[in-house]
Amino acid sequence: MKKFINSVDTLLDESLRGFALAHADILRFNADPRYLARTSPRPPGKVALISGGGSGHEPLHGGFVGLGMLDAACPGQVFTSPTPDQMMAAAQAVDNGGGVLFIVKNYAGDVMNFEIAAEMLDGPHESLLVHDDVSIPEHQGMGRRGVAGTTLVEKIVGAAAEAGYDLAACKALGEKVVHATASMGVALTSCTVPALGRPTFDIGEDEMELGVGIHGEKGRERAPLASAAEIVETLAQTIFDELKPGPGQQALLHVNGFGGTPLMELYLLYELARQYFSGRGVDITRSLVGNFTTSLDMAGASITLTLLDEETTRLWDAPVHTAALRWGV
């Protein structure tokens, strides 16, 4: 394993300190317990948005702390849920009188620890569960995982909170966006977790893993490596069948890299996916391409489609100033 690393034990804190120093105009890092909090002014009564999860998915979630998105993020160790005390401390630091909305990806550890934190909070609070991974049957086990669609949920709901939506309205909007969003990913390689020092699974040079999550786990099936067009058709068809968009439906198309795929290839996938959806009557009016929900150094990508209406389009376009997303400011 070749990594820029001093020690597995110190890697996360060293990285977070560097991240906070690089973006000191946007956020600050609290070391014990770990959380990242927004430093820009927040109006009294604004709903506080808090998310979090295991590290290794950068820029999710810390890269989305700032104006128009999250008020705080709680990073766990690599692929490991943050703890309730992190979430409690973050909530106490950023609650500004409007209540707290936890945005939670649907993984057992995240769900359990955010539930514990929520039970310990005294003030108004709600939780929003993201479950956009359509590679998993809806009613299997814990249900569908929260993956790259989380970025889109955090942006749209973050803009709503910034605009003065109350806690109930922010949660209702988030649920609308979650149900209008579907994602599916594919991996060409595994990823290397620093604590393991090796890939999380073996895969041949002529193979691909369809339906992967973001924690280095295997997907729903192993298949022979196909052309980019064939891969996109497989992912996009599953997404289209799930959302069933009508003719002329406006949508946001997000092509997300898992950390080890060049932008040249991600834009190729975007062009192919846009062709696919446009050819079936979907009007792609907004786009996002790049590494936003990664899996360390995994070579692979996911496609996400979010159906838009006038409200969600306006909120997507609203100003945002974070380490990873910036426009309109």
Query: Which residues are the active-site residues?
Result: 57, 215
CA angle 71, 74, 75 (to 5 degrees): 135
Are 147 and 293 spatial neighbours (Cβ–Cβ below 8 Å)?
yes
Are 88 and 138 spatial neighbours (Cβ–Cβ below 8 Å)?
no
